[in-house]
Amino acid sequence: MYHVEMTTQITRMSRWFKVCCITLFFSQICGAARDLQAHPVVLVPGDGGSQIEGKLDKPGSVHYVCSKKTDYWFSLWLNMELLVPIVIDCWVDNMKLTYDNITRTTTNNPGVDIRIPDFGNSTSVEWIDPSKASAGNYFATIAESILKFGYERNVSLRGAPYDFRKAPNELQEYFVNMKSLVEDTFTKNNGQKIVFITHSMGSPMTLYFLNRQTQEWKNKYIKTWISLAGCWSGTIKALKVFAQGDNLGVRVLSETALREQQRTSPSLSWLMPSDKLWTRDEVMVQTSSRNYTIQDYQDFFLDIDFPLGYHMWEDTHPLVYDLTAPGVEVHCIFGTGVDTAERLVYSKSTPLGKATIIMGDGDGTVNVRSLAACSKWVNEQPQSVYVQAFPKRDHMAVLYDPVIIDYIQRVVAINPQKEEAEN
């Protein structure tokens, strides 16, 4: 009797094992995800939110410590070892772009190849420092918080990094790849619509993308869009970076050390304040001899000795200028109540050197009027638009804040009753 029961049990287990193997086999062939209890997610980073790798074969170098040639790809961003005095000159020379005002495009410095690694995988936007140093935590907290729903990296949790130095007009291949990524994610997850989670400049970048898709495509593939700290209509901080640079919080570096590279990025021009939200007579930059308003951008660039910046602004400012409604459900989340640059005051006759900054409301990086610009869509599209302001959360805190993380979890989780009602 014992042997019969054991034989029967073994036979049953053998059949079960065969069924499981066949199921697993077909699951792997079809690319199906695990038992996912949430909608698949695509993470779109903001300015500085993608890893960048470089490979060199340069005709010269700016300093004797700088490599001219490498036989391998190495981490350029984020690599804290490169953000130190003297070595920073090498980094700037490898990262800066050259703008051609005839073709209206940018290129890398001669002998510098750049690539954005691991498109499609969430890992390269979870940590922008491949060593996973704490300073490089980007989408990692959000990713870890939703894994409990059964997400699988590179299947149901995807990433869409890009060359953040450039604006959408130079990223057409990226948008082709993003569309394919959305469709691939949809297919790999049994036809489940995807959720975009975007941050900062990644939000207008995604708006640009969605505005160029048909409504039929958006209805089929997109469940909802969670925007975190979207810089919809620019920020005063962009003017400050053009004028004096930004040391990225590295205290041992002067702000001007990075300005040479930062100025060459068309994406910075794209983030300048828009006259949709700043009035024509509103002073944004003040010097001892004159004021600069939204009408004075050409003079501003001439006076900071960077006239090409105005051409880059001409190229980029129309890209999402009208803030056309995206045609998908939106959760627009941002922080408020944090001191944010509202006006730059320079003691000299030109906007160069260290400014006295007059503060206003925002998230410490983006002005509140730009953060809240998404609210215009409430009356401009049939899809729901939820605008949520969280006091005392700064621009990066929205990626880690427990209350906001909880909000994200509730949005991405599948609610059977809601799904049935919508269908």
Residues designated as active site: 200, 363, 395
As given in the structure block, the two tokens for residue 354 are 């260290």
| CA–CA separation, 382 and 385 (whole Å) | 9
Distances (CA, A) of 137 to 130, 134, 399: 10, 6, 9
- CA-to-CA dists, residue 5 to 9, 11, 393, angstroms: 6, 10, 63
* Coil/strand/helix, residue 8: helix
CA dist., res. 121 & res. 203, Å (int): 19
Query: Residue 225 forms beta bridges with which residues?
Result: 196, 330
CA dihedral sign, ordered 330, 376, 178, 46: negative
186 close to 224: Cβ distance less than 8 angstroms: no
Distance CA 421, CA 67 (A): 60
What phi, psi does 417 have (nearest 5°)?
-65, -45
Measure the CA–CA gap between 341 and 358, rounded to whole angstroms. Answer: 6
Q: 54 φ, ψ to 5°?
A: -130, 160
Q: Which two tokens stand for residue 414?
A: 């599948």
Could you give the C-alpha distances from 246 to 69, 96, 132, 136, 264, in angstroms and in order?
Answer: 28, 15, 23, 18, 13
